[in-house]
Amino acid sequence: MTTTVTIPQNLLPRDGRFGSGPSRIREDQATVLYQSWRSPLGTSHRQDGVKDIVASIRRELAALFNLPEGYEVVLGNGGASQFFDIACACLIERKAAFGVCGSFSEKFAKEAQDAPFLEEPVIFRKDYGEAAVPEFTEGVDAYCWPHNETSTGVMCPVTRVPGSKEAGALTIIDATSCAGALPVDISQTDAYFFSPQKAMGAEGGLWVAILSPAAIARAEAVENSATLDGATRWVPAMLSLTKAIKNSRKNQTLNTPAIATLILMNEQLKWINANGGLDWAVARSRQSSNILYSWANASDYATPFVPEGPARSTCVVTVNLDDDVPASEVLGHLRANGIVDCNGYRALGLNQLRIGVFPSVDPADVEALTHCIDYVVKEMKAQA
């Protein structure tokens, strides 16, 4: 039986939250939330108090992503997982192609496999730790892949599959754990979707999608055809993208949103844009990830999971530990000292740490984290 390691105070980060989602929420955001307790918290989402916040979110996102002409910010309830189903219900016409390289991209593809009105999707699968992007395939009308596979810490390029646009196909990107932390050219996408509890430093429950005019037109066409006599496709109201678009244009959501989530997200967007926008946020995450990868490279018991190169994520960092350093024990000691959520993704089953270094995370805290891990491992070895 090992005794819990006590990390010296002077080594500890100021904030011990390093989760990949839910992720760190800054104190300034929580302060605004508290100041909102009489209004707009607890007031109608159909009135100006809440609608103004939704309008601000849509404006700030348009600025953050430098939206091309005609692109729209659309939102609704249910998180990114809900958007998997919205894409299947309203954006994929008949057949999709998926890049799959981890748990989240697998889940998205599974929804399309299970949808009875869609043809069997084409899956382009890569090993954990590698990036996956679908290849041009005849008859495919939607190409789908993750920008950042959160389960493995892998980034995939966001560039249209050559020939796909000319063939009238959409590009649908799951950007849940990187929207606001990785660079992106939105014109390379038709739907760039995410939920706010990761790089956006807010709470879960909401989905946001940046939609191109082609995606909006596709949703209208698919939903119209689903209402024709003899149609085999049913688009439930909660999965209707055209209903979400109509509501978003009025700065509302189809059904009641968590107002606290909207407030937190709005504050985060204002903070990022005031500090220099996406370039600034990207650089801050990259600085934090560099600290971790350099530490792991120099360590005699830790190794970056993803080889150096374009696939190695700069916002979700995965690090393998040697077999004689069980991650579960390291995590237990860290947690006892207030350093939380550095665990690897369960389904991968690797002896691994996974650290979310989103813009809310101070690189100085990341530096401190490396010293804390080293301290814990040194003490574990001394006890052994």
Ligand X SMILES: *Cc1c(COP(=O)(O)O)cnc(C)c1O
**Binding-site annotation, residues:** 46, 80-81, 104, 150, 174, 197, 255-256
Nearer to ligand X, 76 or 368 (CB): 76
Nearer to ligand X, 197 or 370 (CB): 197
Binding window for ligand X (CB under 6 A); candidates: 79-87, 127-135, 179-187, 335-343: 79-87
Q: Which of 177, 240, 253, 320 lies at the binding interface for ligand X (CB under 6 A)?
A: 177
Q: Taking the complex as a whole, how short is the minimal distance between the CB of residue 138 and ligand X, in angstroms?
A: 28
Question: Alpha carbon of 149 to those of 107, 154, 184, 340: distances in Å?
Answer: 11, 5, 15, 21
Is residue 146 involved in binding ligand X (CB under 6 A)? yes
Is residue 195 involved in binding ligand X (CB under 6 A)? yes
Question: How distant is the alpha carbon of residue 176 from its chain centre?
Answer: 2
Q: Taking the complex as a whole, how short is the minimal distance between the CB of residue 378 and ligand X, in angstroms?
A: 33
By CB atoms closer than 10 A (0-12, 13-18, 19+), residue 258 is middle
Distance CA 85, CA 117 (A): 13
Helix axis angle for 259-275 and 277-298, nearest 10°, is 90
Q: Taking the complex as a whole, how short is the minimal distance between the CB of residue 178 and ligand X, in angstroms?
A: 8
**Contact (Cβ atoms closer than 8 angstroms) between residue 208 and residue 73:** yes
Is residue 154 involved in binding ligand X (CB under 6 A)? no
Considering only residues 94 to 113 of the shown chain, the ones binding ligand X according to CB under 6 A are: 104
Decide: helix, strand or coil at residue 216. Answer: helix
Nearer to ligand X, 186 or 368 (CB): 186
Question: Alpha carbon of 69 to those of 66, 187, 244, 270, 275: distances in Å?
Answer: 10, 9, 20, 22, 25
Binding site for L-glutamate, by residue number, is: 46
Q: Which of 12, 33, 80, 179 lies at the binding interface for ligand X (CB under 6 A)?
A: 80
Q: Which of 43, 77, 81, 303 lies at the binding interface for ligand X (CB under 6 A)?
A: 81
Is residue 145 involved in binding ligand X (CB under 6 A)? no
Distance CA 25, CA 46 (A): 26
Nearer to ligand X, 161 or 173 (CB): 173
Nearer to ligand X, 86 or 259 (CB): 86
Is residue 343 involved in binding ligand X (CB under 6 A)? no
Nearer to ligand X, 5 or 92 (CB): 92
Sign for the pseudo-dihedral over CA of 378, 380, 382, 384: negative
Question: Alpha carbon of 84 to those of 107, 112, 216: distances in Å?
Answer: 8, 8, 16
Q: Which of 16, 79, 153, 304 lies at the binding interface for ligand X (CB under 6 A)?
A: 79
**Contact (Cβ atoms closer than 8 angstroms) between residue 370 and residue 357:** no
Distance from first CA to last CA of the chain, Å, rounded? 10
Look up tokens 């939105």; give the residue. Answer: 186
Helix axis angle for 27-35 and 259-275, nearest 10°, is 130
Nearer to ligand X, 16 or 21 (CB): 21
Q: Which of 85, 111, 174, 223 lies at the binding interface for ligand X (CB under 6 A)?
A: 174
Distance CA 253, CA 53 (A): 12
Q: Which residues bind ligand X (CB under 6 A)?
A: 21, 79-81, 104, 146, 150, 174, 176-177, 195, 198, 204
